[in-house]
Amino acid sequence: MPELPEVELARAELARWLEGARIVGASSDDRIVLRCSPRTFASRLTGRRVRAVDRKGKWLRVMLDDGTRLFSHLGMTGDWIAQRDPVRFERATLEIARGRRRTNLRYADARRLGRLVVSSEDIAAWSALGPDPLAEGIDVDRLSEKLARRKKRSIKEALMDQSVLAGVGNIQATEALWHARIDPRSRACALSRADLRAVARGIRWTIARTLADLRKGSERWQDSDVNPFVVYGRKGEPCPRCKTPLSRVMLGGRTTTFCAGCQRRAGA
DNA sequence: ATTATTGTTGGTAG
DNA sequence: TCTACCAACAATAA
């Protein structure tokens, strides 16, 4: 379910339910998603008050009043749902109380590629994340410095590297590079300063666009049959800009759609 | 039966 | 120590 925009939506939803509320129960017995002992999960969370729900890239961090942190990554199919009754593919549950009001927050994850970790400190996966494009913006100088060391990687693979920019995944990278008119197969180190400024604009554009879609639709696009993206998943359809049929290649094992007509190979 | 999928990571090689 | 590559993880849908 998640790249940066979806996770940001999940953060806002969680914050609305959790901030200032008290966790009065926590349980999970999923030995794949849960990366700490079920006992730790229950005992460290129960009774605590929630200070804040933060997001960095695709990671969520719930900060509690005693410094304990709950980290949540949604993997490919994870989602938090505020609902009294159990949901399909439920892997963990938080019972929360705010005054007299009680709610259950349920973590659902069909493929179980997501993870939940309770820790008293920030975990390595969180600390290793690069800047978040939505929260911190994109510093082209810093980006250029990092990409200069990627001699072999394509720009698309580099953008999906979470230590380069946190939160950009297959869809957002595909859309951003189309907007920037850069061929996704270009070597990351071959992009000029102007190219990188265009990529930064492309990322801001696609994130803002996806976020706006999610906020107004509230229905996740996977659940409807409408593809809201400009090029992702549209191989063979005419490019919205130049009408050339869109091509598809594999980069780093991920499907990549692009326009051979108007996305130029950098450095070539 | 086959192929695809919004993601990460651990092992290996260089 | 850093970069690069790929299989593995796991479950569903078309």
Does residue A3 have an active-site annotation? yes
Residues with CB under 7 A from strand C: A 32, 76, 89, 110-113, 149-153, 157, 252-253
Q: Is the pLDDT of residue A32 over 60?
A: yes
Q: pLDDT tens digits, residue range A183-227?
A: 999 999 999 999 999 999 999 999 999 999 998 875 555 666 689
**What type of residue is A152?**
K
Does residue A102 have an active-site annotation? no
User: What local confidence, expressed as pLDDT, does residue A224 receive?
Assistant: 65
**A239 CB burial (10 A radius; 0-12, 13-18, 19+):** buried
**Residue A4 CA, nucleotide B13 C1', distance (Å):** 32
**Nearest nucleotide by C1' position to the A220 CA atom:** B6
Query: Residue A116: CA atoms inside 13 Å, Cβ hemisphere, count?
Result: 30
pTM attached to this predicted model: 0.96
Q: pLDDT tens digits, residue range A55-76?
A: 999 999 999 999 999 999 999 9
DSSP structure class, residue A224: S
- Chain C footprint positions (protein CB, under 7 Å): 2-12
**Nearest nucleotide by C1' position to the A151 CA atom:** C3
User: What local confidence, expressed as pLDDT, does residue A195 receive?
Assistant: 98
